[in-house]
Amino acid sequence: MLEVDNLAKRYGDVLALEDLTVRVEGGKCLVLLGRNGAGKTTALRCMAGVLPPTAGTVKVDGIDAADDPAAVRARVGLMPEVPGLYERMSARDYLDYFGAIYDIEPGLRKRRISELLELFELADAGDRWLGTFSKGMRQKVALIRATLHRPRLVLADEPTSALDPDSARRAWDYLNYLKSDGCALVICTHSMEEAEHLAGDIGIMSAGRALAVGNMAALRRRSGLKKRKQVRELPTLQDIYLAIVGNHYALAETRTA
């Protein structure tokens, strides 16, 4: 569903993304982990076809984003970290507006909007202006907007960062439902729990580069960590992440010394 080859993005003298190559099949999820400035958001925006890369290619459902960005955007649902909602619209009218842009038939979009507002416990607030919504409520509306047209690929940047634990679990269950229906997911997050709950593969990024991409078993091997002898536990995802990123910086310091 998503094919990314040698993707790079430069802003003047700053190389924000370098040589990223990933594949995500329908019904699978790739989670990108990394500190702020690692290149995750830039990668997501290039994958969505809203930011032209400096080099490399992005294909969604076999369509090259450089050749037909409109067709790619029609197949993608992008949830940015900052929702950017229209504050003087009600949630229901806002979603209906975007449903019309997605060319969803009026009866179907009305039904979907009602179902999703109910799912995310926003039905009673559906006719309120979005400017009155809390940060968590806005995030739920942004997730609904990104998935209302049932895209083939969902790209979500910190989709649960403002949500309470119960709402986050509800969002994870919804994303897993989309995945089970054949949708491909790419999620950027700082939450190790979210990564373990959603991911098939995990990409660990630093300074615009993917240091490692794979499932937990592959990343565990890549990290070089062993079982804890005292309790015979496998290393956690946080252990693995810190080891891989730490090894990368230690190697970089050795090369510059």
Domains of the chain: which residue ranges? 2-83+152-214
Please give the pLDDT value at position 232: 54
pLDDT value, residue 8: 96
Report the amino acid identity of residue 217.
Answer: A
- In this prediction, residue 235 carries a pLDDT of 77
Cα 68 to Cα 3, 31, 74, 133, 186: the distances in Å are: 15, 26, 10, 36, 21
pLDDT value of residue 155: 97
What is the spatial distance between Cα 7 and Cα 57, in angstroms, rounded to a whole number? Answer: 6
Q: Check residue 250 and give its pLDDT.
A: 45
CA 218 to CA 101: how far, in whole Å? 41
The per-residue pLDDT for 94 is 97
Which among 111, 161, 114 is positioned nearest to 135, based on CA atoms? Answer: 161
d(CA 140, CA 184): 19
- How many other β-carbons are positioned within 10 Å of the β-carbon of residue 241? 23
pLDDT at res. 187: 95
pLDDT at position 255: 45
Structure tokens at 255: 């090369």
Q: 2-83+152-214, superfamily in CATH?
A: P-loop containing nucleotide triphosphate hydrolases (3.40.50.300)
pLDDT at 53: 94
Please give the pLDDT value at position 248.
Answer: 52
Q: What does pTM read for this prediction?
A: 0.88
pLDDT value, residue 171:
94
Instruction: State which residues of the chain have pLDDT below 70.
Output: 227-232, 247-257
Reduce the DSSP state of residue 49 to 3 states and report it: coil
Copy the structure tokens of residue 78.
């992008």
Cα–Cα distance between 31 and 18 in angstroms, integer?
18
Q: Which of 30, 146, 38, 19 lies closest to 84, judged by CA?
A: 146
Strands, E, within 100-239: which ranges?
153-157, 184-189, 201-206, 209-214
